[in-house]
C-alpha cells in the first residue's frame, strides 16, 4: 500500500519525503494509508500544549482555537482520556490551497491533536500534507505544501521525545 501511495504522490509531483515528513522511529509514527503522523511528546499534556502554542506564537502564526475534547465528553457523561484539538494557520499560505480546491477547506486551518493514551504517553498528531494534497487532487502547490510540512514538523519538534 505504501508503494501505491508513494507512486501517487510522485505522480502529483510531490516528493515521498513529504509523505514521510517526520523520521520514522518509536517516537514518531507515520501511517501513509491514513495520512496520520503521530509524534510522542516528552512532556505532560499541559506542557505539550503550552510548548506548541508558544512555538506557534513565536513563529507569528495565527492561533485559532483549543478545543478540550475530554471536557466536552465529560459534559456529555462520557469519560475520555485528555484530548485537546489545536487549530492554527497562516491565511496567506492556507488560502492558496483553497484556491486550488475549495474543498481542501476541510483540512485547513492546520489542526494538531494533543492526547494522552491509556498508558499515559502524550502524543501530538496531525495529517500529513502530501496526503492532504492527494486527498484534494492539488497538484499546483508543491512549494506551499513543503512549507506547511516544514512548519508543522518544526512545531512538533519542540515536544518530540528523544
- Mean per-residue pLDDT, 137-147: 94
26: cell is 518509536
How far is 6 from 18, CA to CA, in rounded Å?
10
- Residue 126 · residue 112 · CB < 8 Å: yes
CB 97 within 8 A of CB 137: no
111/106 Cα distance (integer angstroms): 11
- The pTM of this model reads 0.83
pLDDT at 12: 37
| Phi, psi of 151, rounded to the nearest 5 degrees | -65, -50
Q: Has residue 5 got a pLDDT over 90?
A: no
Which of 23-27, 85-89, 130-134, 158-162 bottoms out in mean pLDDT, i.e. has the lowest? 23-27
Task: Name all domains of the chain by residue range, CATH numbers in brackets.
Answer: 2-157 (3.30.310.70)
- Euclidean distance between CA atoms 86 and 126, whole angstroms: 10
| Average pLDDT, integer, range 121-149 | 95
d(CA 91, CA 99): 12
Tell which phi-psi region holds residue 90, choosing left (phi > 0), alpha (psi between -120 and 50) or beta.
beta
What's the pLDDT tens digit per position in 32-56? 899 999 999 999 999 999 999 999 9
Amino acid at each position: 500500500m505504501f508503494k501505491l501511495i508513494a507512486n501517487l504522490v510522485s505522480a502529483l509531483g510531490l516528493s515521498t519525503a513529504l509523505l514521510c515528513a517526520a523520521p520514522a522511529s518509536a517516537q514518531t509514527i507515520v501511517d501513509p494509508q491514513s495520512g496520520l503522523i503521530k509524534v510522542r511528546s516528552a512532556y505532560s499534556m499541559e506542557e505539550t500544549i503550552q510548548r506548541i502554542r508558544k512555538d506557534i506564537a513565536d513563529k507569528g502564526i495565527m492561533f485559532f482555537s483549543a478545543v478540550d475534547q475530554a471536557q466536552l465528553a465529560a459534559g456529555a457523561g462520557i469519560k475520555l482520556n485528555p484530548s485537546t484539538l489545536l487549530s492554527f494557520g497562516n491565511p496567506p499560505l492556507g488560502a492558496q490551497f483553497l484556491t486550488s480546491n475549495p474543498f481542501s477547506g476541510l483540512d485547513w486551518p492546520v489542526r494538531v491533536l494533543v492526547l494522552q493514551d491509556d498508558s499515559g504517553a502524550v502524543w501530538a498528531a496531525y495529517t500529513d500534507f502530501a496526503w492532504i494534497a492527494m486527498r484534494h487532487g492539488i497538484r499546483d502547490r508543491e512549494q506551499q505544501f513543503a512549507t506547511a510540512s516544514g512548519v508543522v514538523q518544526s512545531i512538533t519538534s519542540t515536544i518530540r521525545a528523544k
